[in-house]
Amino acid sequence: MTSTARPSAGQFVRYQFGAVLPEDLREWVREDLVGPGATGRYVARFVVPPLPIFALLFFVPGPWWLSLGMIVLLLVPLAYFCIGLSTVYRRHRLAVHGLDPELVHERADRAESAMRADYERRHRA
């Protein structure tokens, strides 16, 4: 992330639970939600917290594959909906922080513009 302003530890924890950060941290929020690795950070925020609960399932009496099956039955829908709703959630977080929700598509728009410029450069009549 390029911005020098970073949230304090307390602000960061509150931000993870949905709190709005002060205006001076908007650039950090923008980089967090649309910068490089934004989708990976988003998925980690939803998949990592239930891991201790998944670990407790290994203490359920029975064969190991039964515990593993229970974890898979919980993890697959979690990951599916997490990835599927990534754009919706990140758009919402941008709007809550007073940023343009369309920034979510910024990288795709830049790539499309570069591809279009390359096409026009190679195929000028």
Query: Packing angle between helix 38-47 and helix 26-34, nearest 10 degrees?
Result: 90
In angstroms, the Cα distances linking 110 to 27, 115, 118 are 19, 9, 12
Share of the chain above pLDDT 70, in %: 96
pLDDT, one tens digit per residue, over 26-59 is 999 999 999 888 888 999 998 899 999 999 998 9
**82 contacts 88 by C-beta, under 8 angstroms:** no
Helix, coil or strand: residue 88: helix
**pLDDT for position 111:** 80
**pLDDT for position 125:** 57
